[in-house]
Structure 1
Amino acid sequence: MRDTAGHGRARELLERQPAEDSGRPPLLFVPGLGHGAWCWERWLDAAAEAGWPAYAVSLRGHGESPGRLRTALLGHYAADVVATATALPRPPVLVGHSMGGLVVQRALARYAARAAVLLAPVPAHPAVASLAAIARRHPLDALRIVGGGSLPLRPEYLFHELGAAEAQTLSDRCGAESALAQYQLLLHRPAGPPLGAPPVLVLATPDDRLVPIRGVRATARRYGAEVVEFPGMGHDLMLDARWRQPLDAMLAWLDARFPTERKAGA
């Protein structure tokens, strides 16, 4: 897949295909702040096993994707998602985590996705509450963000139930984030209304240490979305110990909206 930033190298796109093509829309997974496509590997495998074509993209400057991280804006990330979606065989369901959830909200205003799933998304409105939550736990981390540094993705921010060694290993795989994009998280305006009024599902945890649940619930109301919460889990729902629970909730929701041809004719 060609990179929209004009660097020529292919944008990183992980892919898993089901054993049989049931005609269902593909799932396009979008990572959050400092994460790459790698963070969706478990969900990619499980989604394909359940019959869904599954893809995960690394946004520009993340993972193995080209592009300048230093100058990246949320609009650039949304363009990456739209370009990736339009290159897939069929219009996909967009699945975004954290900052990726906000990027998906912006992409929905420009691209008619089949549906959307937001995991612990940065809220539709400015995420000042997230900065306050960080400041209460690690004041220097909040000062670092304000000063233009990248938020250190500590294990305690991301996980609640993993063992210390595994949590640290996953945290170490995370990278830096654009200072400009981080500023936008604190100052952005809500995205425009989604094209085509796609159904939206929100998955979240009330124990999130990065994105307070109040803002997540407000975002769900804005999209008329169902909210399913998983108490005790950390911000990285797709990587914490009980990662299968939110995945199963998503797949059940998708199954009800996009049955296979066999199920539809049963």
Structure 2
Amino acid sequence: MGTPVLFIHGLWLHASSWDPWIERFREAGYEPQAPGWPGDGDTVEDSRRDPDAIADHGIDDVVAHFAGIVDTLPSAPILVGHSFGGLIAQRLLGQDRARAAIAIDAAQIKGVLPVPLSALKATLPVFRNPANRHRSVSLTPEQFRYAFANTVLQEESDRLHERWTIPAPGRPLFEAASANFDPHSPAKVDTANENRGPLLLIASGKDHTVPESVTRSTLKQYRHSSAVTDIETFPDRGHSLVVDSGWPEIADLCLGWLKEHDL
């Protein structure tokens, strides 16, 4: 049986957006799956139909949800997370619940400063109303294009929005934004863990939501650990890199990194 792989989506994308990755990783000999977050519907349509089920789930809820899934697996998995999924993957890796982790355009963990203006603009649909902390929020096609798909053609951006986007809880964004003022923040990762498995951080040079500077600042948070922490940058990619037409390049780099580390 192949090594288990858990794909963890971030805000506004349904778990089924990982389907092409699952096929690619299965062909490479892994046993992949992409569970949804707590409250997610089985399909994009189900999630859109019941946005209240998604609302008010925070980072701790999602970590506990995926930790429960990890506990059912025959061996420690490899985690591949995008955006807030990348933050979740790092928390689980820091808790020694994973063999390795790949965090793609990962949301900022506690200690990362400052957050660039483009990231604030990308998340404005949530932050413009404090009540959104306890609600779910959807992105319009225009908001999705700025936050995710700014490096692809308008036609592809609209297609991605229609195919994969779902409402997202606002709470994780509020928790991440206040992380550096909260000693018990759910965005805190055990970056000093010496015994954890390897970690790969992937940055996108044109990402409005998680700019490259955020990923490089995240890398610095791991400076007190001798465990493997690598970084790769795609200078011309945006936040949609895991779902847009260029996804195979990212997936193949991940597979190559795993092979390099005998994972």
TM range (shorter): 0.7 to 0.9
Instruction: Name the CA distance, whole Å, in 1 between partners of 2:98 and 2:239.
Output: 25
Q: 1:100-111, aligned counterparts within 5 Å?
A: 100-111=85-96
**1:162 matched residue in structure 2:** 152
The answer as to 2:27 corresponding to 1:42 is no
Please list every run of 5 or more consecutive structure 2 residues that lacks an aligned counterpart in the other structure: 180-184, 223-227
When the two chains are superposed, the root-mean-square deviation of aligned CA atoms in Å is 2.7
Instruction: Name the CA distance, whole Å, in 2 between partners of 1:81 and 1:74.
Output: 11
Distance 1:238 1:107, change over 3 A: same
For residue 75 of structure 1, report the CA deviation from its aligned partner.
0.3
Residue 184 of structure 1, aligned match among 171, 175, 193: 175
Instruction: Name the CA distance, whole Å, in 2 between partners of 1:105 and 1:70.
Output: 23
Please list every run of 5 or more consecutive structure 1 residues that lacks an aligned counterpart in the other structure: 1-20, 260-266
**2:68 matched residue in structure 1:** 83
Q: Please, what TM-score do these two structures have when normalized by structure 2? A: 0.79
**2:200 matched residue in structure 1:** 201
Contact 2:94 2:196 (C-alpha < 8 Å) held by counterparts: no
**1:70 matched residue in structure 2:** 55
Residue 257 of structure 1, aligned match among 240, 250, 261: 261
For residue 37 of structure 1, report the CA deviation from its aligned partner.
1.1
For residue 220 of structure 1, report the CA deviation from its aligned partner.
2.2
Identify the range of structure 1 (146-155 vs 209-218) with the bigger mean alpha-carbon deviation. 146-155
Percent of aligned pairs with the same amino acid: 24
Instruction: Name the CA distance, whole Å, in 2 between partners of 1:113 and 1:75.
Output: 17
SS at structure 2 position matched to 1:61: coil
For residue 77 of structure 1, report the CA deviation from its aligned partner.
0.2
Higher RCO structure (Cα 8 Å, ≥6 apart): 2
Distance 1:127 1:61, change over 3 A: farther
Distance 1:68 1:35, change over 3 A: same
The answer as to 2:239 corresponding to 1:235 is yes
Q: 1:115-130, aligned counterparts within 5 Å?
A: 115-125=100-110, 130=115
Q: Deviations over 1:128-186 (max 9, x none)?
A: 75573244578x63653545262625123212443323321221331222222221121
Instruction: Name the CA distance, whole Å, in 2 between partners of 1:128 and 1:69.
Output: 28
**2:225 matched residue in structure 1:** none
**1:15 matched residue in structure 2:** none
